[in-house]
Amino acid sequence: MTTVTLSASPKGNGYQATISFSDGVSISSAEAFPSIGEAVAAAATKLINMPDRLTELDRPPSELDAGS
């Protein structure tokens, strides 16, 4: 099962956005956001702007393994 998690964790005076994929890859924002909601919204926006990564979510596991 493929999962994508959008999260926010404390960073400085705000929150850092993180996108985590079930294959172990995580992408975090460099900037901090004033609220958890803004951090998660920023992570969602970043995810939408990564069409190649989204396309990979629909590939069967055998195709993903073949590309390694």
H helical segments located in 1-68: 36-48, 51-56, 61-66
Q: How many domains does the structure of the chain reveal?
A: 1
Give the separation between CA 10 and CA 34, rounded to whole angstroms: 10
The residue length of the chain stands at 68
Residue 30 lies inside a defined structural domain of this protein: yes
Tally Cβ neighbours within 10 Å of residue 13.
7
Residue 41 lies inside a defined structural domain of this protein: yes
Give the separation between CA 42 and CA 58, rounded to whole angstroms: 23
What is the domain extent for residue 36? Answer: 4-55
Q: Are 29 and 18 in contact (CB under 8 A)?
A: yes
pLDDT tens figures, 23-64: 888 999 889 999 999 999 999 998 898 888 888 878 776 655
- Whole-structure pTM value: 0.74
